[in-house]
Amino acid sequence: MRTVLYILTTLAVIGLAFWAYRENYATQEVLSKTDRLHRDIRIAHSRLAVLKAEWAYLNRPDRLRDLADINFDRLGLMPFRPDQFGHVDEVAYPAPPLLVIDNAVEVSGELPEDGEQP
């Protein structure tokens, strides 16, 4: 009986050692994948910062004004005037949709008049 107990204990220890070995490597793989994702996020943030700086540089008001002046004949862009803007009460809102009755119930007969039993 002791021999069987020793064999089962040895097999359990070997099984747990194998499980711990696999979990260790799975954990290391997940950690390395997480590090790669963090690196990719840092790179994306730096690229985004560069793109935001370029966008701010290209959208300078003096540059856009010069471009509008250069391309006036082609584009016909005019500066905004206060009378070009509308008011909220001038906005035409769409009418609410009509209620669609899909499952109509047919009713036959008449309603009872006052004092009559149905």
Rounded to an integer, the average pLDDT of 27-35 is 96
Residues 6+ apart with CB under 8 A from 75: 68
Helices (H), the chain: 2-58, 61-70, 72-75
Q: Which residue in 82, 60, 78 sits closest to 69, CA to CA?
A: 78
Is 87 or 36 the better-scoring residue by pLDDT? Answer: 36
Instruction: Measure the CA–CA gap between 57 and 51, rounded to whole angstroms.
Output: 10
Confidence of residue 30 (pLDDT cuts 50, 70, 90): very high
pLDDT tens for each residue of 56-95: 999 999 998 898 888 888 888 777 888 888 888 888 888 8
Q: Give me the chain's average pLDDT, please.
A: 88
What's the pLDDT at 33?
A: 97
What's the pLDDT at 112?
A: 66
Instruction: Measure the CA–CA gap between 54 and 48, rounded to whole angstroms.
Output: 10
Whether 117 shows a pLDDT value over 70: the answer reads no
Let me know: does 33 contact 27? Beta carbons within 8 Å. Answer: no
Share of the chain above pLDDT 90, in %: 52
Locus of tokens 């008011």:
87
Structure token digits, residue 55: 């966008």
Whole-Å CA distances, 80 to 29, 51, 61, 83, 84:
58, 28, 14, 9, 7
pTM of the model: 0.49
